[in-house]
Amino acid sequence: LGSARREIVVARTLQPGLLAALLFAGALAHAQQSLVPTRSLAFGSFVAGTGGTVTVSPSGARSRSGGVALLSSPASAASFTFSDTDPAKANSVCIISLPPDGSVALTGDSGSMPLTGFTSNPSNTAVMSGGTLQFSVGATLNVGAHQPSGNYSGTVPITVEYQ
Amino acid sequence: MFVKSIARRPLQLALLASFAAAAIAPSHAANTITATSSAKVFVPISISSTGSLVFGNIAAGTAVGTVIVTTAGTASKTGGVTLPAGGSPSAALFTITGEKGAGYTIDTTATTDLIKGSDSMPLALITDFTGTGGATTAASNVATGTIDATSGDQVLHVGGILSVAASQVPGTYAGTVSVAVNYQ
Q: What pLDDT sits at residue B29?
A: 64
The whole-number average pLDDT for the span B104-133 is: 95
Stated pTM of the model: 0.72
Confidence of residue B111 (pLDDT cuts 50, 70, 90): very high
Residue-level pLDDT at B122:
96
Residue B92 has pLDDT above 60, yes or no: yes
- The whole-number pLDDT of residue A163 equals 87
Please tell me the distance from the alpha carbon of residue A22 to that of residue B19, in angstroms, as a whole number.
8
Is-contact B173 B119, C-beta < 8 A? Answer: yes
What is the pLDDT, as a whole number, of residue B86?
80
What is the pLDDT, as a whole number, of residue B28? 52
Å from A101 to nearest chain B CA? 15
Q: Spell out which residues of chain B touch residue A42, defining contact as CB-CB under 8 Å.
A: 37-39
Residue A3 pLDDT greater than 60, yes or no = no
Record: contact A54-B14, CB cut-off 8 A:
no
Q: What is the pLDDT of residue A12?
A: 45
Distance from CA of A93 to the nearest CA of B (A): 12
The H or E element spanning position B105 is strand B103-107
CB contact under 8 A, B39 and A14: no
Which residues of B lie closer than 8 Å to A, measured between beta carbons? 3-4, 7-8, 11, 14-15, 18-19, 21-23, 25-45, 99, 183-184
pLDDT (tens digit, 9 = 90+) per residue, A31-42?
A: 588 999 999 999
Confidence of residue B134 (pLDDT cuts 50, 70, 90): confident
3-class secondary structure, A25: helix
Looking at residue B153, what is its pLDDT?
96
Instruction: Compare A125 and B20 and report the one with higher pLDDT.
Output: A125
What is the per-residue pLDDT for B184? 87
CB-CB under 8 Å, A25 with B18:
yes
- Using a pLDDT cut of 90, give the percent of chain A over it: 74
What residues in B contact A152, CB-CB < 8 Å? 38-41
CB neighbourhood size of A120 (10 A)? 22
Contact B29 A151 (CB under 8 A): no
Contact B41 A33 (CB under 8 A): no
Amino acid A7: pLDDT: 44
User: Does the interface ipTM go beyond 0.85?
Assistant: no
Residues of A in contact with B180 (CB under 8 A): none
pLDDT bin (cut points 50, 70, 90) of residue B73 is: very high
Tell me which of A24 and B169 has the higher pLDDT: B169
Closest CA to A133 of A78, A86, A94: A94
- Tell me if A88 sits within 8 A of A51, measured CB to CB: no
**Residue pair B127/B93 in contact by the 8 Å Cβ criterion:** no
CA distance A69 to chain B (A): 10
